[in-house]
Copies of this chain bind each other. A is one copy, B any other.
Amino acid sequence: MDRRRGGRKSRSVAAIARQPDYRQLRHPFSQQSVFSDETIAAIHDKALRVLEELGMKILHSEARELLQSAGALVDSDTHMVRIGRDIVQAALTTAPKSFQMRGANPARYQQYEPGAMLFAAGAGCPNATDLTRGRRPGSLRDLEEITKLVQSFDVLHMFGPNVEPQDVPSNLRHYATLKTQLAYGDKLMFVYARGRAQAMESFELIRLALDLSDADFDSAVWASTVINTNSPRQIDIPMAEGIIDFARANQLSIITPFCLAGAMAPVSIAGALVLQHAEALAAITLAQVTRAGAPVSYGGFGSNVDMKSGSPAFGTPSHMQMTIGSGQLARHIGLPWRSAAGSASNANDMQAAGENHMGLWAAMMGHATLTVHAAGWLEGGLTFGYEKFINDVEALQTLAELCPQLPQDDDSLAWDAISDVQPGGHFFDTAHTMSRFSTAFYAPLVADLRNHGTWEESGAVHSAERATKIWQQRLAQYTPPPTAADACDRIAAYIESHTKAGGAAPVGG
């Protein structure tokens, strides 16, 4: 039995036999540090001083009032809010350390807590690109396709607003984005914080779609949003309102200052983290004074400015250090936290892959609970790339494969097999191999391991071009989850009537 025949023979068997489960992952490695514990304590203390002595500018009046009621000092002219450390400390006491995130499918519920490892695809991209149709403004069709693709890979745990459906009017867009998630998937759902009206309607749609009572909806986390502070030291109207609305509804705010060292944050990593931490603590505090116990995620998306272009850089040493440092700060305050990977590359090239891998590994080292932009994020988030998405899923699946414990039993030590095979022989047809071969190894999604001659004869297709076929196949083979039809039925009338009534305009920053 030669190597090549052995491979061929087992091909179809393996595809059927191996059913890895990537739905609930736990970090396989121990959390790493880039700062000493003393420095982390100093960063935390300095962030508290920022809130106490310098304050945050909060543009939303209700948010200022809520913080004032909790004891914060508000300057009604400048809208500066100074938050004492006692108020922050109380908020950190009520912020839950662990909570369940739910969606249409109980098999995909996630415990959001330190040690859990969730991935989400690239999000917030105004454009989409693939090798067949080129680069274009994001459309509802793109969002639908990407949602189907996200649904088809278990290693992606949440939906996100992957591309902005620019062809849907902004007052109706929240209906489209939510319906897309319900019609094409059964994973954890995302709702944009673009004002109270849209948030409330989105919550109602989820409640209707999943046939939940008000109490059901209120008692668990069915939706999450991302809250970006306006670094430095500012929270704008839609973001502040989002924090309040999601907290009141017991839904999740994922707090994400975007602190670019040397631009909107100090140039030093420690200094940028002081600012990020202060802003995140302010937002967490606002959530907790709104409703004690409201689910919040600590988070950050920090990196550096590229010295050559002035653009945000990703996958750089500074990005990784900020990520691992963020993980230390999250551990310091005991909260789960969100990180981000991603790439600044303009193409499906080695830069694009390299930057994303570095960001993913930083998230691994920093024990990120959730890593956003983990697949498909090109041009620093300006474009969602279909082929990049497929190649990044390969990386995510590779990491997910490291999560389960390896077999460590005596049989896995293979004494009999080693005894049976003579020097210079091979293990292809030992009983030990035969009984395990079809399930032993991860089957690559897009990697092509054939030799150069065979690869060249078959057209010398690069990994980006191979990925085109893969996403096309996935879309062709896509079937909606069992929950989809009922969910869509349940929200059809609501969307129709509210659309007729003019929808709900987003609130500007």
Contacts and interface: CB of A to CB of B under 8 A. Distances in A.
B317 A350 contact: no
A363 to B, nearest CB: 12
A49 to B, nearest CB: 7
Nearest to A355: B447
A421 interface: yes
A444 B32 CA distance: 24
A38 B269 CA distance: 40
Contacts of A307: 7, 10-11, 14, 437-438, 441, 443
Interface in A302-319: 304-313, 315-318
Number of copies of this protein chain within its complex? 2
Given A270-B414, A425-B232, A261 B305 contact: no
A152 to B, nearest CB: 19
B232 A433 contact: no
Contact of A418 (B54, B315, B406, B414): B54
Interface residues of A, number: 136
Contacts of A133: none
Given A30-B32, A391-B351, A413-B46, A39 B310 contact: no
A271 B357 CA distance: 29
Contacts of A253: none
Interface in A4-54: 4-8, 10-11, 14, 28-30, 32, 34-36, 38-39, 42-43, 46, 49-50, 54
Contacts of A454: 309
A327 B395 CA distance: 22
B350 A464 contact: yes
A321 B406 contact: yes
A201 interface: no
Contact of A232 (B49, B267, B407, B424): B424
A267 B313 contact: no
Given A265-B427, A304-B441, A402-B321, A43 B232 contact: no
B452 A413 contact: no
10 shortest A-B CB distances, which residue pairs?
A271-B414, A7-B310, A317-B401, A266-B414, A57-B423, A357-B357, A353-B353, A350-B353, A351-B463, A306-B449
